[in-house]
Homo-oligomer: A and B are copies of this chain.
Amino acid sequence: MAGNTTGSVFRVTTFGESHGQALGCIIDGCPAGIPVSIDRIQQALDRRRPGASFDGKHNNVTTSRNEADRAEILSGVFEGKSEGTPIAIIIRNTAHHSSDYENLKTTFRPGHADFSYFKKYGMRDYRGGGRSSGRETAARVAAGAVALMILETQHICVTAYTERAAGISIKKMNYSEIEQNALRAPDCAAAEKMMNQIEILREKGDSAGGIVACTVTGIPAGLGEPVFDKLDAELAHAMLSIGAVKGIEFGSGFAAADSTGSINNDPIRLDPNTGLPLFTSNNAGGILGGISTGADLFFRIAIKPVPSIFQSQQTIQHKVTNHDSSEYAESELVIEGRHDVCLCPRIVPVVEAMAALVITDLLLRNECSRHF
């Protein structure tokens, strides 16, 4: 109801504000007997960390706020395996300097959730965005790490990467290069150009957007629940729940709008080697009628440019903290501190986590819809 839970069977509830005591999650519905490793959770968190996407030379893309982000499992794992009971994971906030945000106490940052939260709740946790901070995704990544351990047992593999940033697209698709550059692009040469462009924007006090793509291999046919909880509907819900995402498309996506049926329909043949059904193209992105076909899933998401920029912006302040009778005044805002210039590389592990949560949930939901 209040929206901090995702999933139907594999249910994840997250909590925590950017500058509160801690953030974390409860995973309810993890089957018993799954090997759960705190190290794997920690590795996933480390990968999401600011400055984690480092190419050995320089990283001007993400902030270098020093967050230790140490995960602790509080429950649900016994002798290295899930017990079938809720798995609670917490991450303490260590580097929170609320005083940094005093100047934002009554000012709404453009492009941020400050104004909409204030209108919703009649109050606002102004410390670093509070609950609306991207920091909340750390809890998702921790939960996603558990989901990924489950998917691994089913040989399902989720891979996200930066396809485009600051107006520059990848030219090739080499999975092994993804972790070799600060952008998490599967093309180190293109990543170099993206970084140059990002550096230009950074110097201007501006920021960049981009596109993150995601592929899921090894997914069985039959995932997704008609009619409202289609696989693409669930993935769209999950991806649009990530802060800076402004759009999603599956398979040929928006290009399908200009295509024709004879081109866009994926023909079905039998694999000459295995005799199994095979789609000879994948404009559907692996989904027909909202249910997986067994072909690879493929979707792209649009990431807006980081709203925290260092140029002066037009905004308003509120004078009275009661949302029913607020008075406002116009003002100019110059944001301080350190901020990401382009979110793509840090969103990559979040996209993988959210995709893993959706697929794990639908795998478990599927257990109930088959022949009994």
Contacts and interface: CB of A to CB of B under 8 A. Distances in A.
A116 B305 contact: no
* Number of copies of this chain that the complex holds: 4
A349 interface: no
Contacts of A289: 112-113, 116-117, 132, 243
Q: Which 5 A-B pairs have the closest CB atoms?
A: A113-B289, A3-B225, A247-B249, A3-B229, A116-B291
A141 to B, nearest CB: 13
A23 B88 CA distance: 9
Contacts of A125: 78, 83, 85
Given A4-B85, A308-B261, A371 B31 contact: yes
B221 A119 contact: yes
Contact of A5 (B78, B228, B328): B228
A22 B74 contact: yes
A211 B258 CA distance: 9
14 contacts: A2-B9, A2-B225, A15-B87, A15-B88, A17-B85, A85-B131, A116-B291, A228-B241, A235-B240, A236-B237, A246-B252, A257-B302, A267-B315, A268-B314
Interface string A193-232: 0000000010011111111000000001111111111101
Interface string A8-38: 1101011111001111101011111110000
Scoring A78, A87, A205, A265 by chain B CB atoms within 10 A of each residue's CB, the highest score goes to: A265
A280 B233 contact: no
A75 B17 contact: yes
A210 B264 CA distance: 13
Contacts of A76: 15, 17, 20
B236 A31 contact: no
Nearest to A2: B29
Nearest to A311: B262
Interface string A63-80: 000000000111110100
A204 B262 CA distance: 10
Interface stretch (A43-51, A178-186, A362-370): A362-370
Contact of A260 (B207, B313, B330): B207
Of the listed residues A84, A256, A308, the one surrounded by the most CB atoms of chain B closer than 10 A to its CB is A84
A259 interface: yes
Given A21-B74, A85-B131, A241-B229, A368 B367 contact: yes
Q: Which of A119, A250, A328 has the most CB of B within 10 A?
A: A119
B31 A26 contact: no
A136 B16 contact: no
Contacts of A24: 74, 88
A128 interface: no
A304 B270 contact: no
A62 interface: no
A145 interface: no
Given A31-B372, A368-B29, A131 B261 contact: no
B110 A266 contact: yes
Contacts of A285: 246
Contact of A90 (B1, B74, B316): B74
Contact of A246 (B119, B246, B254): B254
Interface in A342-372: 364-372
Given A32-B370, A74-B15, A269-B316, A241 B120 contact: no
A164 B257 contact: yes
Contact of A221 (B32, B116, B246): B116
